[in-house]
Amino acid sequence: MTWRVPLSDVNLDSAEIDAVVAVMRSGWLTMGSITQAFEQEFAAFTGSKHALAVTNGTAALHLACLALDLGPGDEVILPSLTFVASANAIRYTGATPVFADIESTDWLCLSPEAVRAAITPQTKAIMVVHYAGYPCDMPTILEIARQHHLVVIEDAAHAVGAALEGKALGTWGDIGCFSFFGNKNLTTGEGGMLLTQDDQLAEKLQRLRSHGMTTLTWDRARGHASTYDVVALGYNYRIDDLRSALGRVQLQKIPAGNARRESAVRLYRELLAAQTPEVAIPFAQAHGQSSYHIMPVLLPEGSNKLRFIEAMKAHGIQVSWHYPPVHTFSIYQFSPFPRVEDLKITEEVSSREVTLPLYPTISDDQIAWVVQAVKESLFL
């Protein structure tokens, strides 16, 4: 159907088209100089020593788990309020996801206290998720990790351009992982990025990304190598220069795009508070700089969420649900079942959460339409 207000929209123009066409005309389409430039620019944007582009955010998470030597017998603590790829990437290595609760119905990120309670002798890593682009309590998480000799992976799929204490999200832990899916603040259609400050991890990630090979096709094409060895059981998680060209242009738009998202969120908060005070808006007491990736709200307790979503659809407004908790999916009901801690807050938030439309080109009038539709749909 054609939505009056879609959930998300891509911010593309002739600059992206020109960049992709230039790659096509160059005759070199796979990973090469444009990808290297994208990695360098993303590293500079985030203040990271190393950035490695990959095929998607799930691949980034998988490679992070592999590079940090997670495997059978290891436990990784993460929130259940996330996209299923976070947990799946852990299971790809044979390690076990351990779901811990979020902080509160206002701050929908992994609770440091819940992390402490979930640690066992088998715990090897913590995977934080910067939900909606708002920062987890990274200083406390890192202190817990230091005390227990754990590694930290940041799932920063929502968080391009977000920061805490002036430091970019994705650069706090051992490895940061980003997604460039079609609905993200920075999109390449499909794509992802890994960040690390560690030289050895960067080299390991680079090998694992491309079949465990010691040189790349691009190296050999430039005459920098004539052969290669295979030193690890790697994967084909390479991105191509077409998508990297798209990403370079998109990266330049992040400051303005995120600023518009922020102003849109402010307007949402103002209008919702005035017209539908029954609706709770998480992240009211914000700390750090968000990327404002999505606009989550919590319906009043006892609301019929599916009926509300259908009522919004009748108004021509697309809304969504971020997220059904991972531990409730059928695949996570089978043996071996991941260990689940007390997830009372996660389950309450998931039962009430609805995501409203948010993107850089949304107009103030469209936001007003959405809020009016929320008001009319709330008590049907």
Is 197 exposed, middle or buried, given 0-12, 13-18 or 19+ CB atoms closer than 10 A?
A: middle
Pairing of strands 151-155, 123-129: parallel
Q: Structure tokens of 168?
A: 């970019």
Q: Which letter does DSSP use for residue 363 in this model?
A: -
Q: In which element (H, E) is residue 97 found?
A: strand 96-100
Which is nearest to 142 in space by CA: 158, 126, 155?
A: 126
- Provide the pairing of β-strand 175-179 with 192-196: antiparallel
Q: How do strand 163-164 and strand 167-168 relate by DSSP bridges? A: antiparallel
Q: Of 271, 298, 365, 363, which is closest to residue 132 (Cα–Cα)?
A: 298
CA atoms within 13 A on the CB side of 87: 23
Residue 176 identity:
G
Positions annotated as catalytic residues are 184
Please report how many Cα atoms fall inside a 13 Å half-sphere around the Cα of residue 27, on the Cβ side: 1
Contact 200, 50 (CB under 8 A): no
Which helix (H) or strand (E) element contains residue 98? strand 96-100
Where b means 16+ CB within 10 Å and e means fewer, 286-317 reads eebbbbbbbbbbbbeeebeeeebbebbeebeb
Element of type H or E holding 313: helix 305-314
Write down the residue that tokens 């007390």 correspond to.
342
